[in-house]
Homo-oligomer: A and B are copies of this chain.
Amino acid sequence: MLRNNEITFVNTHLNFWDKLNTNEKNLVISNTSLITYNKGFNLYSADTDCLGVLIIKSGELRTYILSEDGREVTLYRLTEGNTCVLSASCILNSITFDVHIDAECDSEVFLLNISTFSKLCSQNVYVENFAYKTSIERFSDVMWAMEQILFMSFDKRLAIFLIDEMSKTNTAEISLTQEQIAKYIGSAREVVSRMLKTFQSEGMVELSRGSIRITNKEKLKKLL
């Protein structure tokens, strides 16, 4: 059940809101709840039940695919105001692949439960439309990730990642392990480690346990 001050946040991110009748709006309000997921929590995977629609209030969720031998490839990350329907993909017949979703930090997420979303999808074409449209945005994210992984040279990919992280956190210090970076960019830790050492020897970064300090952003940008 949503509180009054939460309704506005949720309905501005569900673009079908104006197409709902009063009864349907009440359904959304009574079947959406605010959940806190702790850092590292796996919200969703091939083995868990269908969750419903996620609307991120704060924090960050990471979506990835997982190989049989445990290798992860990050598809995209969701932050404040993003919505996710792949967590409700059991009701979207056209989606036949499995993703995993983890909380990257403590995250507050509104969850519209699956049975309500399923009901709305079947009775209101605008809700169904929202589900497909939101999935398509993720399709574009995935294509971007795929082109990066398949086509871009590794030094460029790593440089882009470091610069993005720096802008996001607004500091030159990136508090991530090499293992985490490898996961985010779909590579192996050894490969990341080797390239970071190259960057360090060229004076672009300084490495310490669990973090990387960018010391020459301009030089790093020349790799792009």
Question: Contact residues of A with B, CB < 8 Å?
Answer: 65, 67-68, 71, 73, 92, 94-97, 125-126, 128-129, 132-133, 135-140, 142-144, 146-147, 149-151, 186
Contacts and interface: CB of A to CB of B under 8 A. Distances in A.
A71 B96 CA distance: 27
Contact of A143 (B97, B125, B129, B186): B97
Given A142-B143, A146-B146, A151 B67 contact: yes
25 contacts: A65-B143, A65-B146, A65-B147, A65-B150, A65-B151, A67-B150, A67-B151, A71-B150, A94-B136, A94-B137, A94-B140, A96-B144, A97-B143, A97-B144, A125-B129, A128-B129, A129-B132, A132-B132, A135-B136, A136-B136, A139-B139, A142-B143, A142-B146, A146-B146, A150-B186
A135 B95 CA distance: 10
Number of copies of chain A assembled together: 2
Main secondary structure on chain A at its contact with chain B? helix
Contacts of A143: 65, 96-97, 142
Nearest to A145: B146
A186 B149 CA distance: 12
Given A129-B125, A132-B133, A140-B95, A150 B149 contact: yes
B137 A139 contact: no
Contact of A136 (B71, B73, B92): B92
